Each structure stands twice: as structure tokens, then as C-alpha cells.
Amino acid sequence: MPHPRYPQGESYGLKGTNRGDFKNDIAELKTLNMKLLLISNSTMPGEAYLDYPKHEIKTFLGNKPLTALFIPYAAVTFSFDEYEQKVADRFGELGYQIKSIHHFSDPVKAVNEAEVIVVGGGNTWQLVRMMHDNQLMDAISTKVRNGTPYVGWSAGSNVACPTLRTTNDMPIIDPKGFDTMDLVPFQINPHYLDANPEGHGGETREQRIEEFLEINPDLYVVGLREGTMLLVDDHQMRLIGNRTARIFRKGTTPVELNSADNFSFLL
Ligand code: ASP
């Protein structure tokens, strides 16, 4: 099945032919009622794993006991079993079960039958490669477009965007395509960082995003600082957390928006 916005094989970016599809699909996206919780990072310094977002996860998923399908594919230096256990511990405390996709012989079927989809962080390139290898990019995208709640953090938030190109990660593997699930029509830069270490000559995060926008001028980028998340529900989007998000668009000065602002213009 071709990617919903960018037909297979066509490169993403300035290509004029993609612009029409882009607009049509934005109209289509607005007719869907997706439920997304896109979290910047799993853990704040000095805190336990997935501690700060746990109340928001609970509010998002509700009181009914659910079994969430977990996608651990972003793990590189630790096993899927270990990852599943860590996430299961936290979700268990909230009243939900976690079952990782690596236990299923037919991953697409597991997605099609899932009550909730949870995608954990790690290396985004590895995650995208494994999602492609297992035919999950379209499977999860279709499932979530049809209303199944989606929780992602970090790399799991990157793959909810049109492309993986605003990840912070090193390209450790050929992702077999840069297009991701396109659940939201803008890019997230998770773990967004203002500071540049003293005496360090490398690009700032802002400079890297400016480079992205130079090549991809039609997209917004949301710099999502640690400790914050975006909630999409009922055709609305808002920011949760005490820090502002920095919104980048080519040719405009970046804007800082807080949790009282309406983010729905990005949808
Ligand atoms: N490596 C991040 C994560 O924790 C993703 C990113 O920074 O783009 O998933």
C-alpha cells in the first residue's frame, strides 16, 4: 500500500508533485478522530522510568483495564524482553497490561487486534527499519487513524510525524525509507534543547531544525522540551507540561507556546 501522503518511491521535500497530495491529506486528517499522546522523553533526570508522564497516560487511556501492544524496536543495546518488562512495570501500576510485539508470529495481525498501541523510545533509525521490515508503518498508521489510542515517547513520537528527519539520533542503520506514519502533519523534535555546551562548536538544535526547514519548507517543527507532551483528541491538540514548546516554520521567527495556547492550528 503506498504511503498515504507520499507515494512510494518519491522523495519527500521540495518536489512539486507532492504538494497537492500534502494538502489533500491534511483535509483527510481533519476528518479522522485520532487519539494520540506524543511524549518528548521517558524519564526526567533523577526520576524513575516513565514517572512524570504516568498520570497523563492514565487520564489518556482511562480506567478500563486494557492490554497495550508494545513496540520495543527502538531498543538497540538492551533486549526486547528487558524493555517490555520496564514498560510493563509502569503500565501495570496504572492498571494496564503490556504485551510486546516480538512475541507474536504475525505482527500485522497483532496490530490489527490491539486495544492500544505504545511505541517506546531508543534509536529512531532502528525503530523505523524494524517497522518497515515488519510491515508495521501502514498497519499501525491505519489502526490509529481508525481510532485506536497511540502512546509514543521520543522515537515513538518521531514516527508519528511525516518523516524521521527531525530525530536527534545517529543514522546507525539504513531505515529503508524516511517516511513515517504521518499521524500528525508536522514534525516533532523530541528532547528539544536550548543550551549548547560552552566551548562546543557543533550546531545548536535550532540550527539543525533551520537546516531541515530550508530543505522541507512546508512543514512546521515543534521543539518538544523534556517533561512535556502533545495530546491530540477530538480534533484538538494541546501541550501538557510546565515548559513551553518552540514552534519553527521557515521564514518566520520561532514562537514559544505554552499549555494554555491552542495548538490545533498545527493539525
Ligand atoms: N533517541 C531519542 C529517544 O529516546 C529520539 C530522538 O532524540 O530523536 O527515543
What is the mean pLDDT of the segment spanning 228-247? 96
Total number of domains constituting the chain: 1
Confidence of residue 28 (pLDDT cuts 50, 70, 90): low
CA 122 to chain centre: 12
Number of residues that this document lists for the chain: 267
Residue 246 lies in a domain: yes
Ligand 1 atom having least distance to the Cα of 158: 8
Q: What is the pLDDT of residue 27?
A: 66
Residues 6+ apart with CB under 8 A from 170: 123, 125
pLDDT band at 33 (very low <50, low <70, confident <90, very high): confident
Q: Which residues contact ligand 1 via a Cβ below 6 A?
A: 74, 121-122, 124, 154-155, 158, 167-169, 190-191
Per-residue pLDDT reduced to its tens digit, 91-103: 999 999 999 999 9
Q: Which of 73, 78, 123 to mutate to test the pocket of ligand 1 (most atoms within 8 A of CB)?
A: 123
Quote the ligand 1 centre to 229 CA distance (angstroms): 14
Say what the pLDDT of residue 8 is: 31
Q: Is residue 6 situated within a structural domain?
A: no
| 57 occurs within a structural domain | yes
7 in a domain, yes or no? no
- Distance from the alpha carbon of residue 190 to the mean position of ligand 1, in angstroms: 7
Is 169 a residue of the active site? yes
Domain holding 43, by residue range, is: 18-266
Cα separation, 86 vs 254, in Å, equals 36
Catalytic site residue 106?
A: no
CATH of the domain at 116: 3.40.50.880
Mean pLDDT of the chain, nearest integer: 90
pTM reported for the whole predicted model:
0.90
Helices (H), the chain: 16-31, 54-61, 80-93, 107-112, 124-133, 136-145, 155-158, 205-215
In a domain, 207, yes or no: yes
Is 110 a domain residue? yes
The bridge status of strand 229-233 relative to strand 221-225 is unpaired
Domain contains 11: no
Q: Is 5 a member of any domain? A: no
